[in-house]
Structure 1
């Protein structure tokens, strides 16, 4: 029984996009590993950008910084 946990930032990902991710991951596991789709579980966790950090800051701060840098070009 495959279990896949996908963790992404909460950025307005649509229901349709999530369904596509679930479908394509399931298809990949079936095609590559011969896993049964009816036994495959996919979980998508969405994390607020204030709770996801890298480069020493939250994703919210990082994105604001990048946007400011790009607008000053």
Structure 2
């Protein structure tokens, strides 16, 4: 019973998140796992709470680094 956690920056629409969930579930269905056994958890994370290159992603993206 796979549980897949996806960490994403905030900003995606409900439709986009639904597409992500369907796509991930489809991958496991192709491997013989019934979709009823697949759980996908999406964590929307503020860029200020995401670190990259030693800085907050909000700053990195703002500066265009």
Q: Cα offset for 1:9? A: 1.1
| Distance in 2 between residues matched to 1:2 and 1:65, nearest whole Å | 38
Q: Which entry has the higher C-alpha Rg, 1 or 2?
A: 1
Tell me the number of residue pairs that the alignment of Structure 1 and Structure 2 aligns.
65
| Distance in 1 between residues matched to 2:40 and 2:8, nearest whole Å | 13
| Distance in 2 between residues matched to 1:56 and 1:13, nearest whole Å | 25
| Distance in 2 between residues matched to 1:39 and 1:20, nearest whole Å | 18
Query: TM-score, length-normalised on structure 2?
Result: 0.94
**Could you say which residue in structure 1 is the equivalent of 2:13?**
14
